[in-house]
Amino acid sequence: MMPMSIDEIARSVSGIADFKGDQIITSVTTDSRTASTGSLFVAIPGARVDGHDFVSVAARQGAVAALVEHKVDNTDMAQIVVDDTVKALGLLARHNIDRRRELPDPFTIIGITGSVGKTTTKDLLFSLLSRLGNTVSPVGSFNNEIGLPLTALKVHASTRFFTAEMGASHIGDINYLTSIAPPDISIALIVGVAHLGEFGSVDNIATAKSEIIQNLLPGGISVLNADDPRVSAMRRYSPGKILWFGEEGSHLPEDSHMNMYATDIHTDDLDRPTFLMHAQDEAVTAQPANSVKEETHQVTLGIRGTHNVMNALAASAVAHELGLSLPDIAQVLGTQERISPHRMAVSKVESQGSSFTLIDDSFNANPTSVTAGVLGLADWGASQRIRPYRVAVLGAMLELGADEKRLHADMGALCVKQHIDRLIAIGGNDELNALARDIVDGAETAVAAERDAAMDVPADGADGNAVTTSSFAGSIDEAETMVAQASAEHPHTVVLLKGSHASGLSVLADRWTAPAKVLQS
């Protein structure tokens, strides 16, 4: 954070300050437990917890001021009173960004949005840009009206890059976030069906995501996925240069070329992708007009999943544009083995007397990301002499609107099509139970259809592939027992965890990956 006086902060948020002395604020927090000397504590009222109840705790931790919506009595700490602390937090973050832009040293904001892949792309981009200069990046998925300002307030005088992840549940959300951190470069990854129930249509989702392009600074750079027609259409909003990324053969507008693309994509037995990365740049002026020069480099990602190739291409397009060489990009991507928690994290786990390989992708879920997770599980150990026993533990996908029943059934059918050995769909409450049963129904219907289509299919399945066994689990405890039984019966078991946060699968992942239970990474 750019150091600020309490008076400067009060003026930037149009607040009324009651303060003593000339204290300087050097950090901002909304969690009283993390307050420290020089902190400003922002008291945010919530549905279950009101931050105003913790102002005195923040003071004891060393905070020198609090941003509040009403004066808190019996607290010996400066207080700045505003109408809305969340909006004031955004105003303060924008002021911090403006302060940084006033300095003569270069400073670049990269905005990232998409229905899936935002956090992974942000993590990869952070590692890449850190090779070029001091980079500020969100923790986890700090991408909303609270998380983004808190990250923007970590920008300081020596910050060279700020990677700003921007999520949306409604049209206008990204408009607001870009008003806090106006991007110089904007990445649009993919338009999917996450939050479809809130948006009402995929076209509305595309409109919301396009706000990150519409709100670029004048002459800003758009980084667009050439393989997604809805993202490609955002080019009409671009105020400047466009960088295209995707796979070879993507359809591009006339007079455009792929700036970063991949060919010869394949995965190893641990689902780590290898591909040939191609970087194309406009040719030097000595060459014929409209020609491009191309360089290539072999890349093996340290993280899992072929879906992450696109995320890596998006991050690499930006890093290359900003000056990082292709060999350096390949080296960083190959050594980046861990990203934010609960995203394709692999470990060897011991539970209830059995052991198995865990693929923890439990952070959240929508049809696109669940499909990617199931395909990754299906590819796991494909060339090994002993075929792994593959278990998919899937939770509900929320906010999908009227089509949610079919979309959940489709995930069950996908497990059957990919010959997943065991499917466990986990519920928890009435809504989650119903959606989990839809997953099981989809799998059972697909199994029945396969048997009807080929009456001579043996009990163990066609072509040596097992028929998927599907089960409903009413809780994570029940699911844990089912996994333990399966892994005890099958020594080479690999388990995928994938579901919306409400399903509690991240809690199960944390239970399994406690230090005492992890055998090896």
Nearest by Cα to 428 from 501, 366, 496: 501
- 10 Å CB burial of residue 353 (0-12, 13-18, 19+) is exposed
Distances (CA, A) of 440 to 108, 393, 411, 415, 445: 47, 11, 9, 10, 9
Based on its alpha-carbon atoms, the radius of gyration of the chain, rounded to whole angstroms, reads 25
- 10 Å CB burial of residue 266 (0-12, 13-18, 19+) is exposed
What does the buried/exposed string (b/e) look like for 98-117 if buried means 16 or more CB atoms within 10 Å of the residue's CB?
A: ebbeeeeeebbbbbbbbbbb
Q: Does 118 carry a binding-site annotation? A: yes
CB 142 within 8 A of CB 151: yes
Which residue's structure tokens are 């072929």? 306
Q: What whole-number distance in Å separates Cα of residue 447 and Cα of residue 422?
A: 12
Q: Does 119 carry a binding-site annotation? A: yes
Q: How far apart are the first and last CA of the chain?
A: 36
Nearest by Cα to 313 from 117, 162, 505: 117
Per-residue DSSP letters for 131-153? TTS-EE--STT--STTHHHHHHT
Per-residue DSSP letters for 314-354? HHHHHHHHTT--HHHHHHHHHH----STTSSEEEEEEETTE
Q: What whole-number distance in Å separates Cα of residue 146 and Cα of residue 44?
A: 9
Q: Does 158 carry a binding-site annotation? A: no
Q: Does 498 carry a binding-site annotation? A: no
CB 302 within 8 A of CB 346: no
Residue 357, SS3 per DSSP? strand
Q: Does 51 carry a binding-site annotation? A: no
Q: Does 136 carry a binding-site annotation? A: no
Q: Token pair of 298, please?
A: 């072999």
Q: Does 114 carry a binding-site annotation? A: yes
Binding residues for ATP: 114-120
Binding residues: 114-120
